[in-house]
Amino acid sequence: MTRPRQLADAPSLTATVPRQLVHRAAVAETLLTGWRRTGTDRFSVSAQWPRAHGLHVSSDWSAYDPLLVVETIRQSGTLITHTEYDVPLDHQFVLQEFQVDTVAERLDVGPLPAEPEVELVFTDVQYRGRRPAAARYTARVLRDGERVATADVAFTCVSGPVYRRLRGGRTPDTVTAVPVPPGLSAADVDRALPSDVVLAATELPARWQLRVNTAHPVFFDHPLDHVPGMLLLEAARQAARLRAGGGRVPMAYHAHFHRYAELDEPIWIEAKGGHGTDVQVRGAQGESTVFECLVGTARP
């Protein structure tokens, strides 16, 4: 069939990759537009960042949040694992480490959506049978050829049946999240909306309860049986904003995830440092550490 002239004469058209390949339900939260293999265990992924976003673009539309970079890198690794290493779509990915450093001056919002490229190198792919069971990759995010960020990520992946056994019957339908306590002031954590505040005050100045709102359309883009890593990183971001002072903003995240963060038990966020230095953030449930994150801050 002949294409309409306006399409035949147009430059190449861009669409997002299938949302299932990046574990997203909403097309609007799918940031990637394509990929190609560039060498042995080397890949290039293209992305597009919107000029406005309910969470990851500043309220004045002037800057991208570094956590948008984190989500782009996460989606890139997931995409490549499915498409180039043949991991089935029903497999679950579990983050172990996520270290990312961003460059503030490369995160400005321009007159058009930014179209970064993510260069991935898979350095340690561990197989169980013919399929990967764990992997580590490094990433370089480039915008107009200049570095926006570097990252080092490690994760495991398990089949659907194995994941269900590991979770012991916990599913989105059988687990109820704890009630959401009142949040801090949105302005104090540099968020435009009260619904995006993920910390609630406690009796201690550097300890907060994590607000787990399973209706949040970004953190819970689809039903989950545990607290997602991106929500934990947002908690680290907001805790660092409270501790850093002096107009400093989070620009780097060096996170280690130790265990699943459960929905039906309170999670406590603690922070040390700040006031011109990096901020060490810890999330705990009961006596167990869920994750730890060293947040690097800088002046914008």
What is the residue-level pLDDT of the chain in tens, covering all 300 positions? 444 444 445 556 789 999 999 999 999 999 999 999 999 999 999 999 999 998 999 989 999 999 999 999 999 999 999 999 999 999 999 999 999 999 999 999 999 999 999 999 999 999 988 889 999 999 999 999 999 999 999 999 999 999 999 999 999 999 999 999 999 999 999 999 999 999 999 999 999 999 999 999 999 999 999 999 999 999 999 999 999 876 789 999 999 999 999 999 999 999 998 777 799 999 999 999 999 999 999 887
Q: What is the domain extent for residue 175?
A: 171-298
> Rounded CA gap, 153 and 283, in Å?
19
> Rounded CA gap, 148 and 42, in Å?
19
- Are 32 and 72 found together in one domain? yes
Last residue of a domain, one of 165, 185, 218: 165
- Are 56 and 14 found together in one domain? yes
- Are 196 and 181 found together in one domain? yes
Element of type H or E holding 121:
strand 117-122
- Are 56 and 81 found together in one domain? yes
Last residue of a domain, one of 149, 165, 181: 165
Taking only Cα atoms into account, the Rg of the chain, rounded to an integer number of angstroms, comes to 19
- Are 135 and 181 found together in one domain? no
pTM: 0.94
- Are 147 and 278 found together in one domain? no
- Are 177 and 154 found together in one domain? no
The total number of structural domains in the chain stands at 2
